[in-house]
Amino acid sequence: MRVSVVGAGLGGLALAQGLRGAGIEAEVFERDPGIGARFQGYRLVLDPDGFQAVRACLPTRWHPLLDEIVMDAAAEQLILDPQLNEIGRLGAGRTGIVVDRQVLRHLLLTGLTVHTDAALTGYHVLADGKVQARFAHRAPATADLLVGADGVTSAVRQVLSPQTTPLDTGVRFVIGRTPLTDEFAGLSKAYGSKITGDGVSLLLGAMRFRTPPKQAAEQLAPEVTLPDIGDYVRWAMILPPNGSLENLTAQDTVLSRMEGWHPQLRALIEQADPDNSTLLSIRVVKPGERWASGPVTLLGDAIHATSPTGGNGANTALRDADLLRRLIGADEGRRDLLGAVDAYERQMFEYGTEAVRSSLEKLPVFAPEAKLS
C-alpha cells in the first residue's frame, strides 16, 4: 500500500511516521521550496491526547528523546494589567506538555521521504481506484490514498470539498520569541496569562528544555538532527479586528501599542529575534457537509483549522494522524482501506467540529469584536 501525504506540517509528518512504523509506504509532498524555507518554531502546548498521539506515531526508540525535549507546564491563567498587576482570572489553571514546534517537526521529519517544491495543482481518481496527484514542478504521483494535510489554504480541499472555505475572523496577531534570560525572571507569573491594555492582549509562554535539543539528540538518538536552540519566551499580541497596522515591522507594531507598559514587557519585545517575529491572521475552517468517502481525505487545519486561542489546533491534527494511521494499519485490502477512511472521517468530523467551535467560543475573551460566523 502507498499513501501520498500533501503537506509537511506536524499532522502530515506524524501520519507518515505512523504509517512507516506499520510498514506502509508514505511519501510527503510539501509546496515550500525547502524544509527550512519558513520559520515554524514557536512553542505549543500538547494535552494528554495530543502528546500520546504523537508518541504513538513515533518509533519507540525515539520516546526517550521526545521526553527529554519537552517540559511540563502549569499556568494560573491570570489577567494582568500592563504593570503586571492581577485584575482577574481567565479560568481554571491549565496544565500540559510544552514542545517547540520546530524541534518536534525536525524529529518527525527524520527518515521520511519528503519532496519539496511540490505544489499540488490537482488530482484525479484512476479507473483502478488509485489516486494520481499532479504537481506544478514535478511528475505526478500515484497512491492508494491521498491525504490533504496542507493547512488552511489546502489545495486538496479545494478539489475534494470546494464548498468548505476558510473564515477570516478579522483578528490579527503578532507572534515572536525572545531568548529567556535572567532579565525576564520577574515575568514568570505572566507566563500562561493574559496582559490586557489599550484594546490589545499580550500572551506570554516560556519554553524551557530539559536538555538542549541538539545535545539531547546527540546523546539519545544520533541518527536524529535537532535544531540548536535554547530556552525562550514566546509572545503574541492579539490586535483589534481590522485595525490599522501602519506599515510597521512586527516588533514595532507591538511596541507602538505598549506605551507606558512595564519596562520588562517592553524589553522582552525589543530584544526579540526580528527574523522570528511575524504578523498573522486568525482564520478557521469549519467542517461542513461530508464529501462522498473515497481514496482522498483531509487532516488537521485543512478541514478543521481552529483559533489559536483554543489551544487545540496541533492537538487535533495529531489526533487525526494517530487515528488514521491506526485505522489504515488495521486494514487488509483495498475494500478495508476505504472502510478505514470512512470510519476516520466520521470520527474526525465529530471531534474536529467541536474543536473549532470551542476555539471560537474562547476568541472573544481576547478579541471581543471578532467575526465568528
- Residue 42 confidence (pLDDT) above 90: no
Alpha-carbon distance of 367 to 171, in angstroms, equals: 7
Q: Looking at this protein, which amino acid is placed at residue 62?
A: W
Most confident of 50-64, 70-84, 200-214: 50-64
Predicted confidence at residue 74, as pLDDT, reads 75
Which whole number is the average pLDDT over 308-320?
92
Predicted confidence at residue 218, as pLDDT, reads 97
Percentage of residues of the chain with pLDDT beyond 70: 96
The Cβ of residue 128 has, within 10 Å, a number of other Cβ atoms equal to 8
Residue 285, C-alpha cell as written in the block: 475552517
Q: What is the pLDDT of residues 325-343, one digit of tens each?
A: 999 987 655 559 999 999 9
Alpha-carbon distance of 34 to 96, in angstroms, equals: 31
Confidence of residue 90 (pLDDT cuts 50, 70, 90): confident
pTM of the predicted protein model: 0.94
Alpha-carbon distance of 237 to 240, in angstroms, equals: 10
Q: Give the three-state DSSP class for 169.
A: strand
Which DSSP letter does residue 329 get? H
Predicted confidence at residue 85, as pLDDT, reads 95
Q: With b meaning 16 or more CB within 10 Å and e meaning fewer, what string describes 94-121?
A: eebbbbbbbbbbbbbbbebebebebbbe
Which whole number is the average pLDDT over 146-172?
95
Which whole number is the average pLDDT over 339-352?
96
Confidence of residue 356 (pLDDT cuts 50, 70, 90): very high
Confidence of residue 366 (pLDDT cuts 50, 70, 90): confident
The Cβ of residue 242 has, within 10 Å, a number of other Cβ atoms equal to 12
Predicted confidence at residue 40, as pLDDT, reads 73
Q: What is the pLDDT of residues 205-255, one digit of tens each?
A: 999 999 999 999 999 999 999 999 999 999 999 987 755 566 788 899 999
Predicted confidence at residue 136, as pLDDT, reads 95
- Residue 38 confidence (pLDDT) above 80: no
Predicted confidence at residue 331, as pLDDT, reads 64
- Residue 91 confidence (pLDDT) above 80: no
Which whole number is the average pLDDT over 164-178?
92
Please, where are the H alpha helices in the chain? 10-21, 48-57, 63-68, 101-109, 155-160, 213-220, 250-255, 263-270, 301-304, 313-329, 334-362
Q: Give the three-state DSSP class for 151.
A: coil
Residue 193 near residue 207 (C-beta atoms within 8 A)? no
Predicted confidence at residue 244, as pLDDT, reads 57
Predicted confidence at residue 335, as pLDDT, reads 59
Residue 12 near residue 120 (C-beta atoms within 8 A)? no
Percentage of residues of the chain with pLDDT beyond 90: 75
In the predicted model, what is the mean pLDDT of the chain? 92
Predicted confidence at residue 270, as pLDDT, reads 96
Q: With b meaning 16 or more CB within 10 Å and e meaning fewer, what string describes 141-167?
A: bebbbbbbbbbbebbbbbbbbeebebb
Confidence of residue 59 (pLDDT cuts 50, 70, 90): very high
Predicted confidence at residue 105, as pLDDT, reads 96
- What's the Cα-to-Cα distance from 186 to each of 84, 107, 175, 191, 265, rounded to whole Å? 10, 33, 21, 10, 10
Predicted confidence at residue 362, as pLDDT, reads 87
Residue with cell 472555505: 165
124 contacts: CB under 8 Å, gap ≥ 6: 131, 132
What is the torsion angle, in degrees rounded to the nearest 10, for the CA atoms of residue 160, residue 163, residue 165 and residue 170? 180
- Residue 15 confidence (pLDDT) above 70: yes
Q: What is the pLDDT of residues 62-71, one digit of tens each?
A: 999 999 999 9
Would strands 25-29 and 78-80 be described as parallel, antiparallel, or unpaired? unpaired
111 contacts: CB under 8 Å, gap ≥ 6: 17, 20, 223
Alpha-carbon distance of 239 to 252, in angstroms, equals: 13
Residue 177, C-alpha cell as written in the block: 520569541
Residue 99, C-alpha cell as written in the block: 514542545
Which residues lie across from 280 on neighbouring strands?
A: 173
Instruction: Give DSSP secondary structure letters for 177-233.
Output: EEE--GGGGGGGGGBTSEEEETTEEEEEEEE--SS-HHHHHHHH-TT--------EE
Predicted confidence at residue 92, as pLDDT, reads 67
Q: Which of 52-61, 237-246, 320-329, 342-351 has the lowest mean pLDDT?
A: 237-246
